[in-house]
Amino acid sequence: MLADLSSLIGYRFKDQTLLKRALRHRSAGDPNNERLEFLGDAVLGIVIAEALYQHHPHAREGELSRMRSILVSGVHLTELAKKLELGSYIELGAGELKSGGRHRESILADSLEALIGAIYLDSDMATCRRCIFKWYGEKLDELSEMRPAKDAKSYLQEWLQAHKFPLPIYTATISGKPHQQTFEVICQVHGLPHQANGVGASRRKAEQLAARHYLDLYCQDSA
């Protein structure tokens, strides 16, 4: 069965113990894949950061940070895990198995990171890079068409999901005459200290500006 997975991921493990551990969820007991997940998250981050740096020579630091956050978000990792049919190979405890853990997004995303960590320990960074690029395929190229101004709310949501924060709250204040209204929106997230505002002729525009300003605050803190 694991041989089938090796074909799907494009890598054959020398140490099968590493592969089995990468696929063992904590609900199945110890040892499990949490430590490999930690390592894989770091490896994935540097591989994606390097690729974006090389492929987008004119992008600013803030834009690179946002693109990286999207690519390593739980949403994208879950999508990749499903393409690799990873859920069929994850070892789960009885309770998690009964509740549909094979299809749970967080378990799929975490297991994919653990798999990356296991490949790194079983081989090297160059091999990890080849596997990751193969899995992502055109996703890296598609980012060249993305710009923060296009849909800042979506970018912010992706970043928050990637870092396990709740969704943002947008609070609007309306002023002016009915035919010349001005919308001022405050964007804030529980658990984060920042809040940002945006002003526009429509609530939608004001929310987009507030989200963009919130992203800018994050990038400043990350510099």
Give me the residue spans of the domains in the chain: 2-145, 152-222
The one catalytic residue among 37, 41, 110, 207: 41
Q: Please provide the CATH number assigned to the domain covering 152-222.
A: 3.30.160.20
Q: What's 2-145's CATH class?
A: mainly alpha
Planar angle of CA 181, 187, 193, nearest 5 degrees: 150
Reduced to 3 states, what is the DSSP secondary structure of residue 115? helix
Sign of the alpha-carbon dihedral angle for 126, 127, 133, 136: negative
113 included as an active-site residue: yes
105 included as an active-site residue: no
Phi/psi at 182 (5° precision): -120, 130
Residue 86 has pLDDT above 50, yes or no: yes
- Identify the band that residue 175 occupies on the pLDDT scale cut at 50, 70 and 90: very high
Q: Is the separation of the CB atoms in 181 and 174 below 8 Å?
A: yes
Residue 148 has pLDDT above 50, yes or no: no
- Same fold? 2-145, 152-222: no
The one catalytic residue among 113, 122, 158, 207: 113
